[in-house]
Amino acid sequence: MLLSARRFAITLILLCSILPSPASSQSVDDAGRPDKVLVVGTKEAPPFAMKTASGEWEGISIDLWRRIAEQLGWRYDFQEKTLADLLKGTADGSLDAAVGALTITADREKHLDFSQPFYETGLSIAVPKGHFSWTHIIQGIVSGNLIMGVLGLIGAMVMVGTVLWLIERRKNQHFGEGATGFISSLLWSAMTAIGHSHHKAPTTIAGELLAMLWILTSVIVVSTFTALIASALTTSQLRGTIHGIGDLHSVRVGTVASSEAADFLHGQRIEFETFATLEEGLRAVNERQVDAFVYDRPLLAWQINRSFRTTLDLLDPVFDKQNYGIALPTGSALREPLDQAILAETRSDWWKRMTHEYIGESPDHRIPSASEGLLGHGHH
């Protein structure tokens, strides 16, 4: 009796050890096909996952999943979820996979598995296309220093003209009594300051001494004024020349509120203005309300390609890098065939054509090297 009980206990332990856990309940046949219809969670995250007017799903991640599932003979149904439900459902096994713009992070890896990263991304900068704009130039030169310089020059001209009029008004018919003489003295002061000769001239010794002093002084005043304008114009031109993060400290920057881009800019001590949506922010760049907009590169590329192709540019630098992958329950039997398919498809001509259709640029540089690792952080 005791021997039978021991045999029963050993048999029970062996059975429990080979039964799959809920988190890895998928089983596949010899061809790698699951024995059920897969439940695949997703959420809207253009251009990775989007709903058409008819309710169909499309996007970079969706198209990749469809292509792989067709090749492997997988049957599946999409279920729309929130981000929290995607992560929870994948972790507890109620979802067989989660497809969208899911960032691979160390914290998420503690609770679920990720496929090979299929898309390397990060933050980038959108700026207006380079073209001449009087509005931009005027905004650049109208500065506090320039205004003070203009007011100082006008004040000096008025002061010299007034003193000359007081000296000459009773002895020089050109600068005689009354408004006409006073205006003539102001005109003489202005013409002398800019280096133009004038047929009217002082006749008294005091007036001539004032004239010589003003000629010498005006050279310095006008040179300073010219330098202020040149400096302001140069600053305006430089403000329109943004090449990377280092240039953002001296320009007007925008991003989406409560985004990772906002956290990044705050960490870099870059002042910025927030907008409710990406499209609203890009409209602000288009209308020159801000000089640059910082956000996730593929989302910027998709929106620019869709609505601002002729007016906005997306700069090449990518910073604060992160990787997107397909989330799976821990120990999922789908992972190995999925990884192999992702590695093949993301290096195919189909992948290049498909991503170009959505965002208008080549994805080659986004596939991470082994040295870059899999960990990143993002707001998706």
Q: What is the pLDDT of residues 309-332, one digit of tens each?
A: 899 999 887 888 888 999 999 999
Question: Which of the two residues, 135 and 377, has the higher pLDDT score?
Answer: 135
Q: Is the pLDDT of residue 294 over 90?
A: yes
What three-state secondary structure class fits 113?
strand
If we measure between CA atoms, which residue out of 125, 101, 127, 129 comes closest to residue 114? 101
DSSP string, 24-88: G---B-TTS-BSS-EEEEE--BTTTBEE-TTS-EESHHHHHHHHHHHHHT--EEEEE--HHHHHH
Q: Is the pLDDT of residue 370 over 60?
A: no
DSSP string, 327-379: EE-TT-TTHHHHHHHHHHHTTSHHHHHHHHHHHSS--GGGSPPGGG-S-----
Predicted TM-score (pTM) above 0.95? no
Q: Is the pLDDT of residue 253 over 70?
A: yes
Give the residue-averaged pLDDT of 141-161: 76
Taking only the tens place, the pLDDT of each residue in 57-101 is 999 999 999 999 999 999 999 999 988 899 999 999 999 999 998
pLDDT at 144: 65
Mean pLDDT, the chain, as a whole number? Answer: 79
Give the residue-averaged pLDDT of 279-286: 93
Alpha-carbon distances of 76 from 102, 234, 335, 340, rounded to whole Å: 19, 59, 15, 19
Alpha-carbon distances of 221 from 149, 156, 192, rounded to whole Å: 9, 9, 12
> How would you class 317 by CB atoms within 10 Å of its CB: exposed for 0-12, middle for 13-18, buried for 19 or more?
middle
If we measure between CA atoms, which residue out of 104, 101, 84, 85 comes closest to residue 39? 85
What three-state secondary structure class fits 313?
strand
pLDDT at 2: 44
Structural tokens at position 252: 């007007």
Q: Which of the listed ranges 19-28, 64-73, 96-105, 236-245 does the model predict with the highest average pLDDT?
A: 64-73
Beta strands in 104-236 (DSSP E): 113-114, 119-128
Give the residue-averaged pLDDT of 151-174: 82
| Residue 142's pLDDT band (cuts 50, 70, 90) | low
| Residue 223's pLDDT band (cuts 50, 70, 90) | confident
**pLDDT > 90 fraction of the chain, expressed in percent and rounded:** 35
Q: Is the pLDDT of residue 108 over 80?
A: yes
